[in-house]
Structure 1
């Protein structure tokens, strides 16, 4: 029986199994009846439903067809394919330091032409200054108690961030006003970072929106998320990096991003919030 490297991965696999069971029950089928329709032994249905055997793409197609639930096929296939890889603990990804993690995203960035990023708490990596990145990555290194390769990681992140100057790609960035105010680094570093945001806003392929503290909130603050075209969403949690590829999940994040975009101010109003944050640094 295959084993999975993390409890989160096992939970994802169990979720796929549970959804398949729900479809069978909704169709009014017993496990034996479903097995007969699919042309396999009844024990196979039990193993799949109890997450002991991961279903193949063909198994999922047959299962959904037997239940008259073909509309769920592609989502379930995407979820099943990523059951092992969608949840990856930061501890695993960062155990040798942070530089390798920065380099691991290069290919994903190269494949993407439209980036959508929402951050409630830190400046997105695309637009971090080296000094800000160094302060942030140093904090992560200390908290995780991992090897200190911050200098190399900052250099790797800075190289990767040059993609924002590629005129063939589009970037839509939305941050909460708190991002401008949180003291991730000292006052001088924060001032430099905020000044960098002002310059980035002038790029024709970059849209920077800021959600003010005072904005009415029909959409609440979410976890940080990176949307790569319409094919993949990366969600960053404290302990886990979640990669989503299921079409309905991607659609949900795209819809949430659209709602957050409506709350954000852009252009001169966004510049005013940034310059106000810079002024507060001088007064502190």
Structure 2
């Protein structure tokens, strides 16, 4: 979690404490506030000390309980300010995966040049429906989120229309490990590798494979997307990070270019995919 994010959450907590201590009708104790809304006794302390992120509902109840309903817009603006950069999966997946896919569909429609790095699975924009279905199922189990697998798959397939838009370019680097990861049944992976091999011929896609044998200047770590060299989306187990600050974007561009230098393309990339396809068939 970034320092900026922590500072913004702490600042929101300090503002919540200020409202509680200066509540109209008399100062509220943390215990009183918690009991009023059926919260755990420690919740007020965690929110005020920046150790927990408030929900919009928390903020509405806080403003109402302190007799300061006019402060709600300010509190929501503070929350939106830092959550626009760090988007927890718990919140994003509250209604399932389709909503997240729709957000990415919108982001894709607004950009023309994409750079991507993926170390553990096939890029979403290159996935077959069956492979995507396996991914969404596994993540729904992990995150304990609502199952809207088919709707999410349809949204992801809709995003793939961008591959055939002549105004867009996709510069993608994939670690060889993703060609072998059995996050799905072998038959599904085999079809996915066939699909991947066919993508290499598209004039909108520059697909590189980073071989196991390649000498690396940096570790092949966290996956990310760069949109128009102005915005970066990074995924971890807790959240998506949406970065638009110049230092953050520049760092990810350097990482992408460094990994790109070690990747292979064209026939050599095809050979790696073919070898992975044969390995799957032999299982």
Class of the TM-score when normalised by the shorter of the 2 chains: 0.7 to 0.9
Q: How much has 1:252 moved relative to structure 2?
A: 1.1
Q: Aligned pair in 2 of structure 1 residues 222, 12: CA closer, same or farther (>3 Å)?
A: farther
Note if 1:280 corresponds to 2:279. yes
Query: What pairs with 1:11-160 in structure 2 (closer than 5 Å)?
Result: 11=6, 13=8, 83-160=82-159
- List gaps (5 residues or longer) in structure 2: 12-48, 51-79
Q: Aligned pair in 2 of structure 1 residues 119, 7: CA closer, same or farther (>3 Å)?
A: closer
Q: C-alpha separation between the residues in 1 aligned to 2:108 and 2:81?
A: 19
Q: Aligned pair in 2 of structure 1 residues 191, 8: CA closer, same or farther (>3 Å)?
A: farther
**Contact 1:9/1:87 (CA < 8 Å) preserved in 2?**
no
**Contact 2:87/2:240 (CA < 8 Å) preserved in 1?**
yes
Q: C-alpha separation between the residues in 1 aligned to 2:243 and 2:81?
A: 8
Q: Which residue of 2 aligns with 1:41?
A: none
Task: Give a deviation string over 1:32-74, Cα, whole Å, max 9, x none.
Answer: xxxxxxxxxxxxxxxxxx99xxxxxxxxxxxxxxxxxxxxxxx
SS in 2 for 1:83: helix
- List gaps (5 residues or longer) in structure 1: 1-5, 17-49, 52-80
Note if 1:168 corresponds to 2:175. no
SS in 2 for 1:248: helix
Q: Aligned pair in 2 of structure 1 residues 238, 8: CA closer, same or farther (>3 Å)?
A: farther
SS in 2 for 1:194: helix
Q: How much has 1:15 moved relative to structure 2?
A: 10
Q: C-alpha separation between the residues in 1 aligned to 2:258 and 2:282?
A: 34
Q: C-alpha separation between the residues in 2 aligned to 1:84 and 1:141?
A: 22
Q: How much has 1:201 moved relative to structure 2?
A: 0.6
Q: C-alpha separation between the residues in 2 aligned to 1:175 and 1:124?
A: 8
TM-score, normalised to structure 2's length?
0.73
TM-score, normalised to structure 1's length?
0.72
Note if 1:189 corresponds to 2:188. yes
Q: Which residue of 1 aligns with 2:268?
A: 269
**Contact 2:119/2:223 (CA < 8 Å) preserved in 1?**
yes
Q: Which residue of 2 aligns with 1:202?
A: 201
Q: Aligned pair in 2 of structure 1 residues 82, 259: CA closer, same or farther (>3 Å)?
A: farther
Task: Give a deviation string over 1:168-198, Cα, whole Å, max 9, x none.
Answer: 1000110100000000111110011000011
Q: How much has 1:256 moved relative to structure 2?
A: 1.0
* Equivalences, count: 218
Q: Which residue of 1 aligns with 2:68?
A: none
**Contact 1:9/1:84 (CA < 8 Å) preserved in 2?**
no
Q: C-alpha separation between the residues in 2 aligned to 1:163 and 1:7?
A: 32
Q: How much has 1:7 moved relative to structure 2?
A: 9.9
**Contact 1:115/1:226 (CA < 8 Å) preserved in 2?**
yes
Note if 1:243 corresponds to 2:229. no
**Contact 2:105/2:155 (CA < 8 Å) preserved in 1?**
no
SS in 2 for 1:105: helix
